[in-house]
Amino acid sequence: MPGPIVFAIGILAQILFSGRMILQWILSERAKKVVSPSIFWILSMAGSYMLFIYGWIRDDFAIILGQIISYYVYIWNLGIKGVWKRVNVVLRALLLLTPVAAIVYMAGDWSYHYERLFRNDEIPLWLLIYGSAGQIIFTLRFIYQWLYSSRRGESVLPRGFWIISLTGSLIIISYAIYRLDPVLILGQCTGAFVYTRNLLILRRETAE
């Protein structure tokens, strides 16, 4: 059972994730349209960094997989908004290289990490596959957002982003309930509400 420090790291990550969604929702309500503020991506990157550490300590491949992919999409969005270049160069290097260093470290002793991540007695293989599928779907929203924004030349959060978010979130919530993981449950329940609300805002935009 993870200790209080481990849960504290995970809870901090979810606070950052929930905070980004709440701020984005509030700013969207004020603007009467769905917006993509810089603070959303700053909190996303910080939360992802923390949740990656949490997943690593908990030997949870589903969490690790989801964070590695979306993490660099957060950085791309900060870049297109002009925020990333204002970050201290040393901090930028640290943020960019941490996931890469983790992957290189795992590759150096793959047999050990394979046993640790894929033969974990606490996570049956079927549950690992199910949780990873949820994380992949959840992560695809940022791949979709990146491709959509790249075509438009600006950072936006389109309807498809919120549909994929809600779908992935519901899968992860069920995964977290089975694993009795309050960290994931807390973050995803907050997110599911905001995803639904953004879809309603977009529907209102279309109607107008």
pLDDT per residue, tens digit, the chain (208 aa), is: 457 888 888 888 888 988 888 899 899 889 888 888 999 999 999 999 998 888 888 777 767 777 877 888 899 999 999 999 999 999 999 998 888 888 888 777 777 766 766 666 666 777 777 877 877 887 788 889 999 999 998 888 999 999 999 998 888 888 888 877 777 787 788 888 889 989 998 888 776 6
The pair of structure tokens assigned to 68 is: 């590695």
Chain-centroid distance of CA 68 in Å reads 9
The number of folded domains in the chain is 1
At 91 the pLDDT is 93
DSSP letter (8 states) at residue 2: -
C-beta separation of 195 from 166 below 8 A:
yes
At 102 the pLDDT is 80
> Which residues make Cβ contacts (< 8 Å) with residue 128, sequence separation at least 6?
61, 62, 118, 120
What is the gyration radius of the CA atoms in the chain, in angstroms?
A: 17
C-beta separation of 61 from 128 below 8 A:
yes
At 180 the pLDDT is 78
User: Cα dist. 90→41, 46, 95, 138 in Å?
Assistant: 19, 16, 9, 30
- Domain holding 37, by residue range, is 4-207
